[in-house]
Amino acid sequence: MTIILFVLPALVLFLLLVVAPILVAIYASGFKWNGFGGMPTQFIGFDNFTRLFESEIFLTDLWHLAVLVVLCVVIQLPLALGIALLLHQRIRGRAIYRLVFFAPYVLSEVITGVLFSLILSPESGLANRALSVVGLESAWLSEPDTVLMSLFLVMTWKYFGFHMMIYLAGRQNIPNELLEAAKIDGAAGWKVFRFVTLPLLGPTIRISVFLSVIYTIQLFDLVWILTEGGPAHASETLAVTMFDVGFGRAQVGYASAISVVMFVLSLIFALGYQRFVMRRDMEGATTAMGDNR
């Protein structure tokens, strides 16, 4: 009874704020509905999903998702790892550097979006003023060819500090005795990193990749503040399309279908990633709990 009483409040909140909205979205995705006048009544089956996968905008959103995920995994996370390893060294002022690099993550997405919309303004932005010295001005957020990379740069500035702190915590948990033993055995700096540090950071890196991909699937607020998905849908994401269709065009049934697709993508990735990538980490945690018992 004590366990039930402690679990019940969290369970009620989970059912009301997570499970219930998912079920409502799945239900609404089968109707043509504008969101007004009570519950939907015009049932159309899977027409919203058929329309969705025939939409060029939706397919473009999936492409943008794939591009951003690859960029985050290939550029953003290795950058965070490199800086974390650097700041683990005994360098003067490393506490200040850690604070400075982590500070952008503390800012809200809205503040970050407004800040970079001013910095990347093509006419009076700080970026173009600084780059005009070498003739590298850019339209940044105003051109389809540059807006997605500009968005990724803002995402990297905002979130690499968070991943840096995760990697730094993981690196601090590696016993120095292991690294010293590797050096005594003749391993150089790169080999110590390749065969000792990196494998021991594996669980931390896998968690970091997981969080990065899940966030990218749900990316909305930063894009909406910076570009609202423009120009010409060049920076649009699934969440931006869902918001625009649901609230801007009052096509709640169609927007619900998009939300269901986002949920399915997140669920498939989460379950598959835990099953095939994080399986050893989960088994290790279970074994450790059993040993403690």
**Tens of pLDDT along 198-229?**
999 999 999 999 999 999 999 999 999 999 99
Q: How far is CA 166 from CA 33, 88, 100, 155, 170, in A?
A: 43, 12, 15, 17, 6
Q: Which pLDDT score is estimated for 62?
A: 95
Average pLDDT over residues 236-241: 95
List the structure tokens of 198. Answer: 């990196």
Q: Is the pLDDT of residue 289 over 50?
A: no
Q: How far is CA 23 from CA 27, 55, 225, in A?
A: 6, 24, 29
Q: What is the pTM of this model?
A: 0.89
Q: Is the pLDDT of residue 284 over 80?
A: no
List the structure tokens of 235. Answer: 């920076």
The position carrying tokens 């027409």 is 47
pLDDT bucket at 282, cuts 50 / 70 / 90: low
Please report, for the chain, the start and end positions of each structural domain, with discontinuous segments joined by +.
58-280
The position carrying tokens 């619900």 is 256
Whole-angstrom distance, CA of residue 194 vs CA of residue 198: 6
Amino acid at 203: P
Q: Is the pLDDT of residue 281 over 80?
A: no
Q: Which pLDDT score is estimated for 288?
A: 45
* CATH code of the domain made up of 58-280: 1.10.3720.10
Query: Which runs of consecutive H residues, i.e. helices, occur in 15-46?
Result: 20-28
Average pLDDT over residues 245-262: 94
Average pLDDT over residues 141-161: 93
Q: Which residue in 169, 121, 148 sits closest to 216, CA to CA?
A: 148
Whole-angstrom distance, CA of residue 276 vs CA of residue 66: 20
Q: Is the pLDDT of residue 280 over 80?
A: no
Q: Which residue in 200, 131, 196 sits closest to 169, CA to CA?
A: 200
* Residue with the larger pLDDT of the pair 100 and 37: 100
The position carrying tokens 């994080």 is 278
